[in-house]
Amino acid sequence: GQQVMQIPQYQHVQEGEDFTTYCNSSTTLSNIQWYKQRPGGHPVFLIQLVKSGEVKKQKRLTFQFGEAKKNSSLHITATQTTDVGTYFCGSNTGNQFYFGTGTSLTVIP
């Protein structure tokens, strides 16, 4: 299946520090989506990016889609304890949907 790699696998930050997770694909993606899964919960859709070089913001979260549409990043400014969870990128190819391996974020108060 399509490979969507995500780094880092784990990240611990002090509250107030910034956080970034990166998503990379060996093939061109038609779109990229980001999901957040709280501990013990299920993934929840955050955003979708479609255009080359697209940047979208949601409050302290900034999402980017690379120019070649092969990579994407999620940046959180000034993390808060409510940001704790695992962040997944994903993309659909036809009828299937492929998720990245996820980045687990721990925020230390």
Enumerate binding residues for another protein (CB under 8 A): 1, 6, 9, 31, 33, 35, 41-45, 48, 88, 90, 92, 95-102, 104
Least distance CB 16 / another protein (angstroms): 26
Helix (H) or strand (E) holding 104: strand 103-108
Residue 18 or 45 having the CB closest to another protein: 45
The residues, any chain, with a CB within 8 Å of residue 10's CB and separated by 6 or more, are: 103, 104, 106
Least distance CB 9 / another protein (angstroms): 8
Please give the Cα distance from 57 to 75 (Å, whole number): 9
Least distance CB 74 / another protein (angstroms): 15
Residue 43 or 85 having the CB closest to another protein: 43
Please give the Cα distance from 48 to 96 (Å, whole number): 16
Q: Contact, 80 vs 63, CB < 8 A?
A: no
Least distance CB 45 / another protein (angstroms): 5
Residue 62 or 101 having the CB closest to another protein: 101
Residue 9 or 80 having the CB closest to another protein: 9
Question: Helices (H) and strands (E) in the chain — how many of each?
Answer: 0, 11
